[in-house]
Structure 1
Amino acid sequence: MCTASMSVIGSSADNALAESFNATSKRETLQGRKTWCSEREARLDVFGWLNRCNSRRRHSRLGQRSPIVYETALDTTSTTRAQAA
């Protein structure tokens, strides 16, 4: 179930990021598909997309790295800096 945005129209805190994320998920999940046999099948497709998005899909904003690789690199850098101090 989707809920309408609760943001104020014209606010700088508008939900552009969420809208972009939703548009991408719809475009990539619905590609060539019109229906699912069940709600469970639809949920599994969305879960599969989210898993791929977080673990394998490269993001230009993260230097063409997946979020998991990016966060792992940050954790390693933070640990190394803390040990050096």
Structure 2
Amino acid sequence: MSEVYAFIEAEKTTHHVALLCRLLSVARSSFYAWLAGEKTRRARQVADDVLAHEITVLHLVGSGTA
């Protein structure tokens, strides 16, 4: 479903959100709820990437290869 919402987000400058939602059979409220959560999802992904990098660095230092 995220792909549908991402498509609506990408096309909303060209077409009305209401029209896109109707054509794609999704509730407008669901699209806007997804949109509101996008900032949180993006921040979580950045935090996960930073943590993965820190784990990799610690692993390399701990194994004596860095």
Band the TM-score falls in, shorter-chain normalisation: 0.3 to 0.5
* Structure index of larger Rg: 2
Which is helix-richer, 1 or 2?
2
RCO (CA 8 Å, sep 6+): is it higher in 1 or 2? 2
TM (norm. structure 2) is 0.41
TM (norm. structure 1) is 0.34
